[in-house]
Structures are given as C-alpha cells and as structure tokens.
Amino acid sequence: MEQEQPSLAVCPACVAMPPSDKIVPKLKADATEMRRIELSLPSVHCAACIANVERALAARPDVFGARVNLTLKRVSITGADSVGIEDDLIEHLAKIGYPALPLDSAALEKTRTDKVGRDLLARVAVAGFAAMNVMLLSVSVWSGATDATRDLMHWISAIIAIPTIAFSGMPFFKSAWSALRVRRLNMDVPISLALILATGVSLAETLEHGEHAYFDAALSLTFFLLLGRYLDHRTRAVARSAASELAALEVQKAQRILPDGRTETVPMDALSEGDILLVSAGARVPVDGVITNGSSELDPSMLTGETLPEAVTVGAQVHAGMMNISGPLHIKTVGLGEETLLKQITRLVETAETAKNKYTSLAEKAAQIYAPAVHLLSAGAFIGWGLATGDWRLAVNIAAAVLIITCPCALGLAVPAVLAAASGRMFRQGVLLKDGVALEKLADIDMVVFDKTGTLTTGQPQVLNANDIPEAAQAIAADLARGSSHPLSKAIANRFATTGNVTSISEHPGFGTEGLLGGQKVRLGRANWCGYDGEPPTQTATWLKIGNAAPIAILFQDQLRPEAKETVTRLLSEGLQVLLLSGDVPAQVRSTAEALGITDWVAQATPSDKVDRLAELAADGQKVLMVGDGLNDAAALAAAHVSISPASAVDASRTSADMIIVNNDLTQIVQSYRIARAAKRRILENFTVAAVYNMVSIPFALAGFATPLMAALAMSASSITVSLNAMRVGRMK
Amino acid sequence: MNILILLIPISLGLGALGLGAFFWSIKNDQYDDPKGHSMRILSDQYDDTPKDD
C-alpha cells in the first residue's frame, strides 16, 4: 500500500497537493483491520462485467482490492473489517446490476487455492519436460547411434528419468500401495509395476552397455497418465467448488423472540428447546414446534408434496420446512432432537443409501479384467523365455517390454478425458455433475420418475377459474390483492387488471384484506372470514365477498413449469418410461399427469412409499432416474439409480442428488441424458481403441521383437486417439 | 560428435528454462481462473498510469 511520493525536486506541486486519487489509498492504509470477503456473482459473464464489478468495488474507500474469478463466478474482496460491510457491498453491487450472494468464506477457504491440483500440475510439468528431452535423446539411439554415443545418451536419459519417475510417479505408487495393502488390484498396480520394472531394466541395460533402454517409454507413460489424473481432478474440483457454493448459500437463520419482546436473528445451531421463534409471513418454519400465538395457513408442499394449504392456529403442531403463507406466527420449539421430521427424513436417506447396490464404474470394471491379464501375460513371458532359452536377462527384458507395451496408458486417459469433456459441456449448460460415475449411470436409465410439486410445477399458485368470475368482481379482487405479499394475492394481482376503485384497504394478517367500494364493505380472504361455511373445496381457494352477496370462490392451481410438457414429451420419444410419483391428492396429480401426457401416476405417496416404490422398480431391474426437489423426495433421490434436483430444491435433496440443474431448466434432463449416452459410447470406443493397440503389439512383445521405438509410437498414438475421441463429446450439439 | 557436449546441455538448459517458467506461472495463480483470463485480455480499460500497488 505504501507508495513513493515524487521527490520535491521532480514535482513540488505533487508533494504539496497530491492528486485526489492518491488520497484514497492513504485513507485505506489507515484502516489496519482487513478482512477477506467472498461473494457469489451468478450474473457475471464477460470482460465488461469483470471491469464493471472491479471498478465499482475499487472506487469504494473501504475496499482495498477486488478480483473477479469468472470461472467460479465469484469476487474476492479485501475490505475493511467493519460491521455490515458485506451487506453494504452486496447493496452496492445490486445497484450496478450484479446481484451478489454472500458466501461462507471460512467454508470456501479450503477450496480457494486448489493445492492438490497445483501439485498434480507440477508433476505433469516435470514429467512432460523429462519425457520430451529423453525422447529427443532416444531419437539418436533409434537412428543408429552405437557404442559410446549410445551409452552416453542412455546415461543422460537415466539421470533425467530416475528422479522424474520418483517424483512424478508418486501418485501412482501411493495409490497402488494403498490398494495392495488391502489385498486388491487397481489400475495403478500394473502402472507402478511397469514404471518400476521399465526403469530398473533400463538402468541395468545401461550399466551393461545394452541396446534397449525404455526410459522414454516410462516417462511418456507417466506424462500421459498424469494428464488423465489431472483432468479427473479438475472435473471434480469444479463440481466440488460449485457444490460447496450452493451449500454456502443456504445459511439458515431463525428469529428468536427475547423475553423483553425484541427479536434477534440467530443461527440454527444456537437454538435450544423451548425457545419462542417468530415466523413471519412468507418465511419457512425453521424447526418443529407448537404455535403459541397467531393463526395462519401453512404450505406443506416441500414436506409432503400437497399443495393445499393447511389452516393452523394456537396449539397446532408445525414442522420444519413448511412455508408460512399468511400471518406471522410465534412458535415454541419442541423437537430439536431425534424426533423432528427432518431427522426422520435424514434417517430414511441414510437407510436408502446403504440399501443401494454398489455400482462398479466402467474404469473399475476395465481394471478388474485388465490388471490380472497383463500380469499373467508378463509373468508367462518371463517364465517361458527363461525356461526356453535359459537367458534370464533376456526374459526380464521381454517381461518388461510386455508390461510397457500393454501399459494402460490409453486406458488411464479413456475415462477421465471423456468425463472431463462431458461434465464441462454439462456445466456450461447449467447442469452440475457431482461425480463422474453419475454420468455413466445416467446413460443406463430406462425410466424417469418425477416428483410433482416444485419439480414439474413452479410451486407458484395460478388462478384456475378466471372465466367463472364476473369481470367487476375480478377488478375488486385485484384491487384488494395489490398491496398484499401473500402468494395467493400476488397470483390474483398478476392475473386480473386493477381499477383502483376500492379505497381504505387494510390487511388483516391471517385472514385477508378488506376495503370499501362505494360505501360497500369488500373482503378477500379466508372462507369463514368471508362468510363461507359450506364444504371446503378440494383445491386451494380464497374467497371474495362483496357487500352482503354470497362469497365467490377463487380457485388456484400450482402452475406447470413452461418447459415441463416439452421435457416429458422428449423423454418419452427417447424411449424412456415416465412415472409421476407425488405426495399430493389424486385429483391434482391426475390433472397434472394428463396435462403432461404421463400415463403412469401415483398419488399420496409418503417419503417412505417413494423409497419403497423405487426399491420395487430396482428389484424389477429398472434403472431409474429420480427427479425431485422436496424434503419428501430426499430419500427417494438417494435410493434411485441416479438422481437430479433443480437448484431451487431444499438442501437435503440437493445433497442426496447426483446432479443439480443450476439454471432450473427441466429440458436439461433430456440434454444431459443425451450427453451421458454419448459419453458412455465414447468411453467404450476408447476402451476398444486401447485394446486394439494392445492386441496388435502384444504378439511382438511376447515374441521378443518389441523395441523402445515401437513402445513409444504405440503409446503416443493410442493416447492421442483416445483424447481426440473424448473431445468429440464436448463439441456435440 | 564433439558438438554433442555443447548441444545436449543447451537443449536441457532451454527445457529447464521452460519448466521454470511453467512453475512460476503455477505459483502466480495463472491456472485459477482460465475463463476470466481469456476475457480480461479483451478489456479496453488501458492503464495510462502505473497501478498504485
């Protein structure tokens, strides 16, 4: 921060009167306390955005530095450690058109600098440097260098190769060792063996002034395999940082009422049993409890899938996750322990996860066949040649050649290169893949199970019977609804045009709104408040009473997402079965299913019903993709073969889902399925390519005709073919 | 063949130089925001005066 002032001789004026922009940094330097603030900026996307955000932040005196990270869509700010600076900055950014969200910087600190990634990258770089140099030295050997020159080349190669293998090969050695310790074989065992054997044999050959040294092959093998490892890591790191970002966004807080009547905002884990909490209209109930004051309606759709609000008053039991829609409530927390609904759901999720069959990924399957086969071949070649010729040095040489030639170089790249390309592709489209294996699983599905509320629908009510309501009444309803933040009022205000004729409108929390129209009293609100005492309708309803006339019912229905129909149609045309599995009442589920063209539907399914249903389907051999967002879906998401949640889902569902649709666009399900299918095809093609290269070269190696040149060519050619093939996934339309 | 005594160290030295530069770029956070860097190059906010820090 300290800067040089020009000397008096150069510019006396500058010293007497520094330019104004130089005063600000001075101010900044006085504030000794600094703090790092991380904000999520979902809307930054271009060069101008970066410049706008950074300039706007730098202009503030309480900001010392700001840097936008476009890859992670974040800005990291060094600012004064003053109270409320975070909120000030968010407000400031919102004013210039970039809505920002606070991130828990402590949780993000771990992922901020990607240590493992940098470490891998350094190893890749060393291996690449060594491989290129040794390859150059080898060219002279291949082109006919003999005697002392060849020995010199081999010696220089050895000096470069041995420390490089020791450094760059470490990830493979470590992983192979941990597999061997539990008596298992993974892909890294043959890799490590090949590396060590190749280096050892080559060193022995060099000492003996031999002809064949495989230093170049060992190094390029390390280089290509590390590249695969790095791609794999990169895919995971991006997904992990995005996932931790989603988690950091959801900072749950509760409003606790103090004995003196004031309220304070406290984090969830600071609550204790018996606390009185305030749940304002439009907020979610934070914990299970009993209402001690107020009356309202609660929307249980996140919990049960039902869209019909439940009227509650003092003494009623409420559950965490319900949305309070009309009046403010005071609740006394009762269940913080094992018996809350949330805990029960969590238990259900855990059981569902353990009951699920373990999935063996394609890479693991390949390793299970490949590793023993290669070891047998190599051991066979060693024993065979040893017994046949009695020349054990030749036998070791041939065994090493077999291991190197068959080395799973292309196999090591086959899966990670495809997954990196595919998950990058999906990330750009707004789908977050938590784990590469989920992509393989997605390619296998033959059935899609949808939740209804919040997944196929928006969760926003929409007026259903507009045509049955007289126009005059529509205008009155709109006038009354205009000032209210109740979700039903908002739906009315959106649907009907206002005239502004209703005067002296007042809101009665928990009941509705009241006003005057030419001396007549008009009311919009709950049934009994508006004088309706007949049968309650099967749908969400509000009532409009004009003077002494009979109240008019305004019915609501949950609105379908605009792309829901297209999504279902496209899934059906891909040859997938579609099932609607909802916790809502049959009438609602049937109408949704009919509107979307879904023939199979199940209504009133409890969370455990959903899990049971998925277990049945799995037992029948169906591979199910579950799409859901509510708390009631969390266990089903965990039980399904593979699962997707929209980003609007509750935390528990996002945690158990394998994929998250960040932009909430359902058609991405179809697109992701197509990418997954293509990715799986590419992986299998890559395995074939690698196998063909091996099959061609193994006979040469076994017969003892293999040369280091051949090994180098086969390895590079197969690795390049496999990588290029993988990149096609990223470019598909 | 005596030229090898000169050429091999030179080629290794040049390679090591590249490797060193790569390590420097890793340390210098140049792989943390690949998308942002590709955009920043398009910025037309020229620095007419040197930065303060």
The pLDDT, as a whole number, for residue A23 is 43
Q: What is the ipTM of this complex?
A: 0.78
Going edge to edge, which strands form the sheet with A512-517? A457-463, A552-560, A540-546, A520-525, A512-517, A503-508
Q: Residue A70 and residue A707: Cα distance in Å, rounded?
A: 48
The pLDDT, as a whole number, for residue A111 is 55
A383 located within any domain: no
In this structure, what token pair is assigned to residue A638? 């965990």
Q: What is the pLDDT of residues A499-534, one digit of tens each?
A: 777 877 877 766 788 888 877 888 888 777 887 777
The CATH number linked to A320 is: 2.70.150.10
A90 located within any domain: yes
Distance from A49 to chain B by nearest Cα, in Å?
A: 10
Task: Assess whether A565 and A452 both reside in one domain.
Answer: yes
Inter-chain touch A133–B12, beta carbons under 8 Å: yes
In this structure, what token pair is assigned to residue B30? 């140049």
Chain centroid to CA A217: 38
Task: Assess whether A454 and A565 both reside in one domain.
Answer: yes
Q: What is the pLDDT of residues A342-384, one digit of tens each?
A: 677 777 777 777 766 677 788 778 877 887 888 888 889 999 9
A-chain residue closest to B39, CA distance: A47
Task: Assess whether A571 and A442 both reside in one domain.
Answer: yes
A264 located within any domain: no
A-chain residue closest to B27, CA distance: A118
Inter-chain touch A129–B53, beta carbons under 8 Å: no
Q: Is the pLDDT of residue B26 over 50?
A: yes
**Of the residues A302, A335, A368, which one is the last residue of a structural domain?**
A335
Low-confidence ranges of chain A (pLDDT < 50): 1-29, 31
Closest residue to B23, CB basis, from A50, A122, A152: A122
The pLDDT, as a whole number, for residue A670 is 92
Task: Assess whether A535 and A574 both reside in one domain.
Answer: no
Task: Assess whether A565 and A641 both reside in one domain.
Answer: yes
Please state whether beta strands A310-312 and A253-257 pair in parallel, antiparallel, or not at all (unpaired): unpaired
Q: What is the pLDDT of residues A301-355, one digit of tens each?
A: 777 767 777 778 888 888 877 878 777 788 888 766 556 666 777 777 777 777 6
A304 located within any domain: yes
The CATH number linked to A42 is: 3.30.70.100
Domain count along chain A: 4
Q: Residue A253 and residue A265: Cα distance in Å, rounded?
A: 6
The pLDDT, as a whole number, for residue A15 is 44
Task: Assess whether A589 and A652 both reside in one domain.
Answer: yes
Task: Assess whether A600 and A645 both reside in one domain.
Answer: yes
Whose CA is closest to A33, among A85, A74, A87, A72?
A: A85
Contact A290, A271 (CB under 8 A): no
Task: Assess whether A448 and A588 both reside in one domain.
Answer: yes
Q: What is the pLDDT of residues A398-418, one digit of tens each?
A: 888 888 887 766 777 888 888
The pLDDT, as a whole number, for residue A449 is 92
Residues of A near B (Cβ–Cβ under 8 Å) read: 1, 3, 22, 25, 46-47, 50-51, 55, 65, 68-72, 113-114, 117-118, 121-122, 125-126, 129, 132-133, 136-137, 149, 152, 156, 160
Task: Assess whether A581 and A645 both reside in one domain.
Answer: yes
A194 located within any domain: no
A138 located within any domain: no
The pLDDT, as a whole number, for residue A357 is 67
Task: Assess whether A441 and A453 both reside in one domain.
Answer: yes
3-state per-residue secondary structure call for A488-530 = HHHHHHHHCCCCCCCEEEEEECCCEEEEEECCEEEEEECCHHH
Task: Assess whether A569 and A448 both reside in one domain.
Answer: yes
DSSP letters, A42-99, are: TT--SHHHHHHHHHHHHTSTTEEEEEEETTTTEEEEEEE--TTHHHHHHHHHHHTT--
The pLDDT, as a whole number, for residue A605 is 85
A10 located within any domain: no
Task: Assess whether A592 and A659 both reside in one domain.
Answer: yes
Chain B residues with CB-CB distance to A121 below 8 A: 26, 31
Contact A447, A578 (CB under 8 A): yes
Confidence label for B45 from pLDDT (cuts 50, 70 and 90): low
Which residue range(s) make up the domain with A49? 18-103
A132 located within any domain: no
Please identify every residue of A annotated as catalytic.
451
3-state per-residue secondary structure call for A310-357 = EEECCCCEECCCCEECCCCEEEEEEECCCCCHHHHHHHHHHHHHHHCC
Chain A residues with CB-CB distance to B32 below 8 A: 69, 71, 113-114
**Of the residues A103, A121, A153, which one is the last residue of a structural domain?**
A103
The CATH number linked to A624 is: 3.40.50.1000
The pLDDT, as a whole number, for residue A6 is 43
Q: What is the pLDDT of residues A565-575, one digit of tens each?
A: 999 999 999 99
Distance from B32 to chain A by nearest Cα, in Å?
A: 8
Inter-chain touch B26–A114, beta carbons under 8 Å: no
**Of the residues A335, A351, A379, which one is the last residue of a structural domain?**
A335
The CATH number linked to A468 is: 3.40.1110.10
